Amino acid sequence: MNKLVPILLICGALLGIGLIGYDVGPAAYERVSGWVSGQQQVTQAVVVRESADVAKLPVETIKWLNSRKLRDDAKAAGISFVVIDPDVKDKDGKTPAELAPAIEAAKVKGLPALVLGTRAVELPKDEAGARKAMGL
């Protein structure tokens, strides 16, 4: 069934119809392009959370956000991993251009969020969930 879904999604897109349970736009394209190429490589993982809300996060979440091993493994896999506040500014007082798409995607999803490329997902509760989301 998993091999049939991308084919149905592509056929549906060509016919101009959507499939129930699947979105359209950039997120759908990312999934299809990942299936077509055989793999979907995450190169950027950004945790967007309000600094004031860190104390409200579960202990397991705080542990993986600060995990040196996770950061080292992400780097070894070619994944840029950062944790930011949505109000982060550069020296000119502007949102850094390389982080703006992640911040916007996280705001749409709802904070806190993990943004993988341009796709925001719910912030994993523990390190195992974070590793799975990042493909580590």
**Model confidence at 7: pLDDT above 70:** no
- Does the pTM surpass 0.85? The reply is no
CATH class for the domain made up of 44-134: alpha beta
Q: Which of 91, 92, 117, 93 is nearest to 104 (CA)?
A: 117
* Average pLDDT value for residue range 103-131: 96
pLDDT reported for residue 41: 78
Give the model confidence (pLDDT) of 76-111 as tens digits. 999 999 999 999 999 999 999 999 999 999 999 999
The domain ranges of the chain are 4-37, 44-134
Give the model confidence (pLDDT) of 23-72 as tens digits. 444 444 444 333 333 446 789 999 999 999 999 999 999 999 999 999 99
